[in-house]
Amino acid sequence: MEEICSIVLYLYFGLLALFLLLYFPRILFYFAAFLPIKRVTNAKKNHLAVVVAAKREGKIVEGVLSSLRNQDYDPAYFDIYVIVDGKDDPTAVFASSYQNIEVINVPNQKNKGEALDGGLKAILHKKANYYDAYVFIDADNIASRDFLTEMNNALALDKQIVIGKKLIKNFFSNLSSSRSYSSDSTSLTYTQIDDLGNRARDLLDAPITLVGTGMMVRKDVIELNNGWPYRSLTEDYELGADAIVKGWTSYYYPYAKVYTEEATSAKGAYRRRIRWIKGYSQVHSRYRKKIWKKKFPRGKNWIKFGYVFGRLPVYGIFGTSFLTSFVGLILLITAGFLGANYQIALLLFLLPLAISYILLTLFNLIAVLADRDNLPIGILGKISLITLSPFYNLTYLPIYLTCLFTPYDYFTWEKTPRIPFEERKNKKEEKK
C-alpha cells in the first residue's frame, strides 16, 4: 500500500512540475495587468450603430437603454437598435417607449447569432455604408456615461475589433439580493480574461480573447461578413477565432466600460458555465486546424500554439490533481478495509486538493489586486472573494464531465433570470 502511494505521489509531482513549466509563459501575462494601457483621443466623430439583442427581456432593457440615452457622445453620431423576437416580444413595448430607438423584429431566432445576423442585415439594407462601426451591448448591461466616447476614441487605434472593460453590476447594487456566493465567485471571470490575459496581448500586438458585450466591430468586418455568420453557443468567441484565421486586428481598451451581471442562482450559473465550456470546445473543434495551418509573421507562431495548446497545461494541472486525489480516496478506503496504514493514502487524497486550492487562491489574489479599484466590496469582501471562490471554481470539474456527454443541440437560447438591481448612490449624492 505505502509503495503504491509513494509511486503515485512521485508521479503526480513530476506531472505537476511539467505542466507548471509549460504554463509559465502564460504566467508572465499576469505582469501586464499592472502596466498602463495607452489611452487615446479621436478628433473625428464616427457614426456608430449600437446594437442590443434583447429577446424577451421585457422591462430589463430599460436599464441599458437609459444609460445609452444618457451618453456624453453627440447623439447625432449614434443610433440605437434593439433586436426582438417578433412583434409579440414584450421587449418591443419597453424599447418603443424611448424616442429615436429603432426596434428590429427577427422572428423565430434560435440563438444570439441569428438575432444579430437578422438585425445587422436589416441595418445594412437600410443604411448601407453609413456607420463606421457597430457597438454590441447586452440587454442586462449598463453603459458608463462615456462608453461611446471612449469607443469612438478607440477607433483611432486602427483596430477592427475592440472590447471594453466589463465591471460586475451586482457589486454596484444597493440590494443584498443582487449578490450571492455564485455571482461573487464568477465575478472575476472578466478580470481574468482581460486584465490577466488581453492586456498582455495588447502589448504583444496579438489577437485578444473576445467576450461579446461591450464590443465594437468596425464596418469593414461587418460588411465583409454581410451580417453575423456565427452560430456557435459562444458566437463572440467564434468571431475571435475567425479573426485569427482572417487576420483581423483586435484590442482590449479598458477605458470603455460597461456593467454586466452575474447570475445569483447556483442553477443559473451552472447552466451558463456549461454553455460557455461547450461553446468553447465547439469553436475549437471548428477552427483549430484552420489556425494551426495559418502562416503567421516571424516571431508570431506562438499565437497558434497558444490557441491550440494554451489550455492544456491548466487541464493537466487540475486534471492530474483530481485524478491523483481520487486514487488516494480509493486507496484510503481500501486501507480501511485491510487495516493497513492509512496516513500516506490520506496524504495522497488531500495534498492534490490542497495544491489546487492554493493555486486558485493565488490566481484570484492576482486578479483582485489587478482590479481592486473596480471592486467596491471592502477589504473583508475581497478577502472572502479570494479565499472562498476557489471552492466554487472546483465545480468546473463536474461541468467539464457534463460537457463531454452533452450534445450541442441540447442547448437553446434560454431566457436568463435577471438580478434585482437598485443603483447604489455614492456618498456625495447621499449627503445631498
Please choose, from the candidates 144, 164, 166, the residue with its C-alpha nearest in 3D space to the C-alpha of residue 154: 164
Indicate if 170 and 265 belong to the same structural domain: yes
Answer yes or no: is 68 within a domain.
yes
The answer to whether position 419 is within a domain reads no
Same domain, 14 and 55: no
Q: What share of the chain is helix, strand, coil (3-state, %, to 5)?
A: 60, 10, 30
| Pair 181, 323 in one domain | no
Q: Same domain, yes or no, for 184 and 79?
A: yes
Beta strands at 250-260 and 142-143: parallel, antiparallel or unpaired: antiparallel
What average pLDDT does this structure show over 13-29? 95
Sheet containing 78-84: give its strands across: 101-105, 78-84, 48-53, 133-136, 215-218, 161-168, 250-260, 142-143
Q: What is the dihedral of CA 226, 141, 58, 81, to 10 degrees?
A: -30
Among the ranges given (155-159, 360-364, 402-406), the one the predictor scored with the smallest mean pLDDT: 402-406
Residue 20: how many CB atoms within 10 A of its CB?
Answer: 14
Segment 289-306 mean pLDDT: 91
| Contacts with 202 (C-beta within 8 Å, 6 or more apart), sequence order | 32, 37, 208, 251, 252
Q: What is the pLDDT of residue 238?
A: 96
Highest mean pLDDT among 6-15, 149-158, 405-414: 149-158
Residue 428 pLDDT class (50, 70, 90 cuts): very low
Residue pLDDT, tens place only, 160-170: 999 999 999 99
Write the CATH number for 57: 3.90.550.10
46 and 176 fall within a common domain: yes
Q: Which residue has the cell 470603455?
A: 256
Q: Are residues 147 and 284 in the same domain?
A: yes
pLDDT range class, residue 86, cuts 50, 70, 90: confident
Return the bridge partners of 142, or none.
259
Same-domain pairing of 393 and 291: no
**Into how many domains does the chain fold?**
2
Convert the pLDDT of each residue in 221-269 to its tens digit.
999 999 999 999 899 999 999 999 999 999 999 999 999 999 898 888 8
Residues 247 and 286 in one domain: yes
For residue 393, what pLDDT is reported?
A: 85
Tell me which of 307, 331, 350 is where a domain ends. 307
pLDDT at 419: 83
Based on the domain organization, do 231 and 93 belong to the same domain?
A: yes
The stretch 72-77 carries a mean pLDDT of: 96
Tell me whether residue 420 is in a domain. no
Query: Is the predicted pLDDT of residue 282 greater than 70, yes or no?
Result: yes
Beta strands (DSSP E) in 74-191 are 78-84, 101-105, 133-136, 142-143, 161-168
Domain that residue 48 falls in: 37-307
Give φ, ψ of 371 to 5 degrees: -115, 20
417 located within any domain: no
pLDDT at 423: 83
Angle at 87 between CA 84 and CA 92, to 5 degrees: 55
Residue 426 has pLDDT above 70, yes or no: no
* Mean pLDDT for the stretch of residues 310-332: 92
Name the least confident of 54-58, 101-105, 176-180, 424-428. 424-428
Question: Is residue 119 one of the residues assigned to a domain?
Answer: yes
In a domain, 423, yes or no: no
pLDDT of 336 higher than 80: no
**Domain match, 104 and 236 both:** yes
Q: If you count DSSP H runs as helices and E runs as strands, how many of each does the chain have, helices first?
A: 17, 8
Cell of 63: 436599464
pLDDT band at 298 (very low <50, low <70, confident <90, very high): confident
Q: Which of 292, 307, 322 is the last residue of a domain?
A: 307
Has residue 205 been placed in a domain? yes
Which of 239, 232, 235, 168 lies closest to 208, judged by CA?
A: 239
Share of the chain above pLDDT 90, in %: 72
By the 8 A CB rule, do 166 and 194 touch? yes
Half-sphere CA count of 62, side-chain side, radius 13 A: 9
| Whole-number pLDDT of residue 299 | 87
The residue count of the chain comes to 432
SS (H, E, C) 389-407: HHHHHCCHHHHHHHHHCCC
Statement to judge: residues 284 and 221 lie in one domain: yes
Kind and range of the H or E run holding 216:
strand 215-218
Does 237 reside within a domain?
Answer: yes
Q: What is the pLDDT of residue 394?
A: 83
Report the distance separating Cα 40 and Cα 186, nearest Å. Answer: 31
- Both 290 and 318 in one domain: the answer is no
pLDDT category at 427 given cuts 50, 70, 90 is very low
- Residue 41 carries which DSSP code? -
Query: What's the angle, vertex CA 234, arms to CA 229 and CA 235, rounded to 5?
Result: 20
| Among 287, 307, 327, residue at a domain's last position | 307
Q: Choose among 177, 191, 163: nearest CA to 389.
A: 191
- Angle among Cα 83, 84, 87 to the nearest 5 degrees reads 130
**What's the pLDDT at 429?**
38
d(CA 333, CA 232): 44
